[in-house]
Amino acid sequence: MILLISDLHLEEERPDITRAFLDFLTGRARSAQALYILGDFFEAWIGDDAMTPYQRSICEALRTLSETGTQIFLMHGNRDFLLGQAFCKAAGCTLIKDPCVVDFYGEPVLLMHGDSLCTRDEAYMRLRRILRNPVTLWVLRHLPLSTRHKLARKLRSESRAQTRMKANDIVDVTAEEVPRIMAQFGVRTLIHGHTHRPAIHKLQIGEQAARRIVLGDWDHQGWVLQVDEQGMQLMPFDFAPA
């Protein structure tokens, strides 16, 4: 059995989500052969060299799961794209590219965070190209900590202000972009997060039936996609009472 989650937006200020995730790691995730985390795992990440005690405790919880035999795969989101190899090594995770094709029980499946599908948001797409450029990444990782903190705060408040202003359809995926990228990678299943609109969309790509599965964000409830020989099941679950 394989489990996929995304958009937990873990931060110290949300002990409810943190608790739910730690329970998930010692519960359901133990029986999975693999766990995929498709981005925005952390609400913010300014570098592996700046881990807070809180982030370190999450890192150790992941490592404990990996040591029990569950393989953990981690993809960057738009908030935690500075997560690096040092974190992954310490957490026992493997960093995977966005997009990437995996084999789930004989079926090729395309995994993405999802932000790159929101192509109508041109301002964001421009910013994304700049931020994800290897040169920018190198510079960001080598800025003094205080500068990185300032930058992260600025990006977050700008992103909040803009999301409020943007039309509803701009922050969702571009409908035409979905069949295009699925055809490019030769898949009939796409799984992504980012939009916080959990759903299973049935599609038609040429003559073939296809599907786009959107993982949900963890806020007042959690979301997990379970994949096994029987198929794929997208399930919400309640957080245990504090």
Would you count residue 18 as binding Mn ion (CB under 5 A)?
no
Q: Taking the complex as a whole, how short is the minimal distance between the CB of residue 123 and Mn ion, in angstroms?
A: 16
- Residue 43: Cβ within 10 Å count: 19
Return the number of the residue (18 or 195) whose C-beta is nearest Mn ion: 195
- Residue 45: Cβ within 10 Å count: 23
- Phi and psi dihedrals of 186, rounded to 5? 65, 40
- How open is the CA angle 216-195-60, to the nearest 5 degrees? 55
202 is in an annotated binding site: no
Would you count residue 192 as binding Mn ion (CB under 5 A)?
no
- Phi and psi dihedrals of 118, rounded to 5? -90, 60
Q: Taking the complex as a whole, how short is the minimal distance between the CB of residue 146 and Mn ion, in angstroms?
A: 25
217 is in an annotated binding site: no
Q: What is the DSSP string of 147-211?
A: HHHHHHHHHHHHHHHHHHHS-TTTSSPPTTHHHHHHHHHT-SEEEE-SSS--EEEEEEETTEEEE
Would you count residue 80 as binding Mn ion (CB under 5 A)?
no
The dihedral region occupied by 231, where left means phi > 0, alpha psi between -120 and 50, and beta the remainder, is left
Binding to Mn ion, residues 36-75 (CB under 5 A): 40
Return the number of the residue (163 or 233) whose C-beta is nearest Mn ion: 163
Would you count residue 77 as binding Mn ion (CB under 5 A)?
yes
142 is in an annotated binding site: no
Per-residue interface string for the shown chain with Mn ion, residues 212-241, x marking contact by CB under 5 A: ------------------------------
Would you count residue 194 as binding Mn ion (CB under 5 A)?
yes
Length of the chain: 242
76 is in an annotated binding site: no
First to last CA, the chain: 29
Q: Taking the complex as a whole, how short is the minimal distance between the CB of residue 9 and Mn ion, in angstroms?
A: 9
Candidate ranges 12-20, 34-42, 49-57, 219-227; the one touching Mn ion (CB under 5 A) = 34-42
**Binding site: which residues?**
7, 9, 40, 78-79, 113, 121, 159, 163, 166, 194, 196
